[in-house]
Structure 1
Amino acid sequence: MDVPRFEPVRRPQGPIVSTRNPLVREFTSLHDARGRRESGLVLIEGPTLVAEAVAAGMTIEVACSTDPDRWPDAVEVADRVLARMSTTTTPNEVVVAARRPEEALDHEGKDLLVLVGVADPGNVGALIPSAAAFGFGVRLVGGSDPWSPKALRAAAGGHFHTTLRSGGTLDLQEFHTRGFVTVATVARDGRSSIPSGGHVALLVGSEAHGLPEDAVGDAMRRLTIPTTGIESLNASVAGSVAMYERARTR
Structure 2
Amino acid sequence: MSNKSNYSYVGIAFIILVFGIIFIPKIVDRIKNNDITRSDRMSNVPDNNFSNTEKLAFLEINGEPKKVPDFSFVNQDGKVITNKDYLGKVYVIEFFFTTCPTICPIMNQNLVQVSERFKGIKDFGVASFTINPSHDTPEVLKEYAEKYKITNPNWNLLTGDRDAIYDLANLGFNLYTAQDDSAAGGFEHSGNFALVDKNGFIRSRKDAYGNPKIYYRGTITEAAKFNEEGEEEEISQLKEDIKKLLNE
TM-score interval w.r.t. the shorter chain? 0.3 to 0.5
TM-score after normalising by structure 1: 0.32
Give TM-score, length-normalised by structure 2: 0.32
Structure with bigger gyration radius: 2
Could you say which structure has the greater relative contact order, defined with CA pairs below 8 angstroms and 6 or more residues apart?
2
